[in-house]
Amino acid sequence: MDKIITSRYNSPCGELLLGSYGDRLCMCDWQSGRHHDIVSGRLRRMLHTGFEDGLSDVIEMAIMQLDGYFAGKRRIFDVPLLFAGTDFQKRVWYELSVVPYGRTISYGELATMIGMPKAVRAVANANAANAISIFAPCHRVIGADRSLTGYGGGLDAKKYLLNLERQPETCCRLQEEHPNGYQKL
C-alpha cells in the first residue's frame, strides 16, 4: 500500500507540509493551528493510508514551483493535484484553482461559480477544508464585504500571499482562458 510521502517547506509566511500520494500532490498544508490535524485525518481516512517522511518527484516539482511563486516569478502551477474530499468539496477546490492570480472573490461569488449561489456556507466550509493551499488558492477568497476572513495559515499568511500577488507583474507566462471566464492557473 502506498503511503503519503511528506516533506516540510519553509515559506516566507509559515511552514507548510507537502504531501504526495502516487504521482500527485495531495497536501500543501499549513503547520500552524488545528487545521493541519483535520486535514491529515481526512487524508488518512479517504486514502486509507498513513504518512512517511521523504521526497518524491511531485514534491520536488512542488518545491520548485513554490520557490518560483514566492520569488514573484511564477503565477501558474502545473503540479498534478489529488483532491481528497466529497464530490462537492472537489468541485469547490477545482473552481478555486481557476481564480486568477492577483484576484479575489467572495464566498458568494465562488458559490455562483459552481452553480449553487445559495450554498455560501457550504462553499465556505469546503474552502476551509482545502488540503492543497496555494495550489488551490483558498487565500483568494474573502468576505462579501471584501474583508479578510479566516485562513488555515492565519490571517498574516493570507495577507502576505495577497500582497505578494499584488506586486507588479514579473512573470510573462500566458494563462489559458477557463470556460467560465476565469483564467486557468
At residue 134, φ and ψ (nearest 5 deg) are 70, -55
Alpha helices in 21-106 (DSSP H): 35-47, 57-70, 87-96
Task: Give the model's pLDDT for residue 179.
Answer: 42
Q: Is the dihedral of CA 51, 45, 35, 159 positive or negative?
A: positive
The pLDDT tens digits of the residues spanning 9-51 come to 999 999 999 999 999 999 999 987 667 788 888 999 999 999 9
Give the range among 82-96, 109-123, 164-178 with minimum mean pLDDT.
Answer: 164-178
CA distance 113 to 131: 20
Residues 6+ apart with CB under 8 A from 115: none
Q: Is the pLDDT of residue 178 over 50?
A: no
- Tell me if residue 13 is catalytic: no
The pLDDT tens digits of the residues spanning 62-113 come to 999 999 999 999 999 999 999 999 999 999 999 999 999 999 999 999 999 9
Task: Give the model's pLDDT for residue 168.
Answer: 63
Catalytic residue among 13, 26, 28, 138: 138
Could you tell me whether strands 51-53 and 24-30 are parallel, antiparallel, or unpaired per DSSP bridges? Answer: unpaired
Whether 28 and 137 have beta carbons less than 8 Å apart is answered as: no
